Structure 1
Amino acid sequence: MAGKKILMLVGDFVEDYEVMVPFQMLLMVGHTVHAVCPGKKAGDKVRTAVHDFEGDQTYSEKPGHNFTLNATFDEIRPEDYDGLVIPGGRAPEYIRLNAKVLDIVRHFAQAQKPIASICHGQLVLVAAGVLQGRTCTAYPAIKPDVVAAGASWADVNDTFSNAEVDGYLVTAPAWPAHPAWMRKFMELLGTRIEP
């Protein structure tokens, strides 16, 4: 298997596990991953947030690690990449306001290249207008946005560990779904992991 080139769209207060773990997993199997943030360049950092499920009505939020970007947003060309990853956290709320972010997402959707989006990352898909007629899941609080965008909602299981595939799109509700979400994304990329 030849390694693929993956683009990851992040921003300050991206969810810690949802950026760190997929980034490392994709590197581990031989892919190149470029993590970028609007307004930042390679070597800059984004702050992360740790979201956890502790029995409250919603997730809790705590400071996470700093994550170093390894590519410059203004220099990337989406046509150079084989797949796209959109982590959750609070970053999707505001990176979706960036026109180039939306153009990047539309490029991947129109070209039917694999897109992996998790948790609140689906807010970026909604803003890009690429969910019409798709089936996907997300963090449950995002369900009204996903449905209003014309998508069919795939229910979240009790452990938040499921992932949904619809063509080139794989979505998941939160970081407990990493094993299923990344496995399905890697299958779309053509990555073979031998048992």
Structure 2
Amino acid sequence: MAQKKILFLTGDYAEDYETMVPFQMLLMVGHEVHAVCPDKKKGDKVFTAIHDFEGAQTYSEKPGHMFALNYNFDEVDPANYDGLYIAGGRAPEYLRLNDKILEIARHFATANKPLAAVCHGIQILTAAGVVKDKKLTAYYAVAPEVTAAGGTFVNVPADQAVTDGNLTTSPAWPGHPALIASFLQLLGTKIEP
């Protein structure tokens, strides 16, 4: 298997599982993964949050693990990467206000490179204007943003993923097996038994 270079976007209060698990899975299969956040450098950490459903009308939030970034955001050139993975949680809400983040998302969409986003990570894609005429999923509260940005929101169970061309998305962390499998397929990654 040829090693691919993956850009991994996360930030403060990204969802813990949606940061830790994909990052570790992509490393596990042999890819080089650069985890970055605007205004932070290699070795800096981001706070994460654990989101769960405990009977309220929306998810609860608890402190998660600290996640160490392994690359400098200022050194990112999206042309040097084979794929982009966007973590969910609360981070995308403010990350989408960063012009370089939006340019990065547009690069991967325009270049037709593999692009994965989970939960609220889709907010970066809607803000970047790259979901028009695409079928995708997200946390259901993000559905109005998908529709307003010209995408088609597909309501699937939390353990599933939706893939349309180079874009694969999932509503939440229970969808990691489906989302990562789809992303690896888009990357051309083959795992031998």
Calculate the TM-score normalised by the size of structure 1.
Answer: 0.98
Partner of 1:23: 23
Long gaps (5+) in structure 2: none
Partner of 1:74: 74
Cα distance in 2 for partners of 1:153, 1:45 equals 33
Partner of 1:87: 87
- One-letter amino acid matched to 2:165: G
Partner of 2:112: 112
Q: Does 1:190 align with 2:188?
A: yes
C-alpha displacement at 1:56, in angstroms? Answer: 1.4
Cα distance in 2 for partners of 1:53, 1:5 equals 34
What secondary structure does 1:178 align onto? helix
Cα distance in 2 for partners of 1:153, 1:36 equals 28
What secondary structure does 1:50 align onto? strand
Partner of 2:160: 162
- One-letter amino acid matched to 2:147: V
C-alpha displacement at 1:156, in angstroms? Answer: 2.0
Q: Could you list the per-position Cα deviations for residues 25-77 of structure 1 after superposition, in whole angstroms to 9, with x for gaps in the alignment?
A: 00000000000000000000000000011121111100000000000001110
Cα-Cα RMSD:
0.6
The correspondence of residues 29-48 of structure 1 with structure 2, limited to 5 A, is 29-48=29-48
- One-letter amino acid matched to 2:144: P
The correspondence of residues 94-105 of structure 1 with structure 2, limited to 5 A, is 94-105=94-105
What secondary structure does 1:30 align onto? coil
C-alpha displacement at 1:194, in angstroms? Answer: 2.8
Cα distance in 2 for partners of 1:120, 1:64 equals 17
Cα distance in 1 for partners of 2:12, 2:174 equals 21
What secondary structure does 2:21 align onto? helix
C-alpha displacement at 1:193, in angstroms? Answer: 1.7
- One-letter amino acid matched to 2:66: N
**Runs of 4 or more above 4 Å deviation:** none
Q: Does 1:122 align with 2:115?
A: no
C-alpha displacement at 1:129, in angstroms? Answer: 0.3
The one of 168, 174, 177 equivalent to 2:175 is: 177
Long gaps (5+) in structure 1: none
Calculate the TM-score normalised by the size of structure 2.
Answer: 0.99
Q: Could you list the per-position Cα deviations for residues 75-94 of structure 1 after superposition, in whole angstroms to 9, with x for gaps in the alignment?
A: 11000000000010000000
- One-letter amino acid matched to 2:183: F
C-alpha displacement at 1:155, in angstroms? Answer: 1.1
Cα distance in 2 for partners of 1:168, 1:57 equals 33
Contact 1:103 1:128 in 2 (8 A): yes
Contact 1:140 1:156 in 2 (8 A): no
Cα distance in 2 for partners of 1:164, 1:118 equals 10
- One-letter amino acid matched to 2:48: T
Cα distance in 2 for partners of 1:156, 1:63 equals 27
C-alpha displacement at 1:169, in angstroms? Answer: 0.1
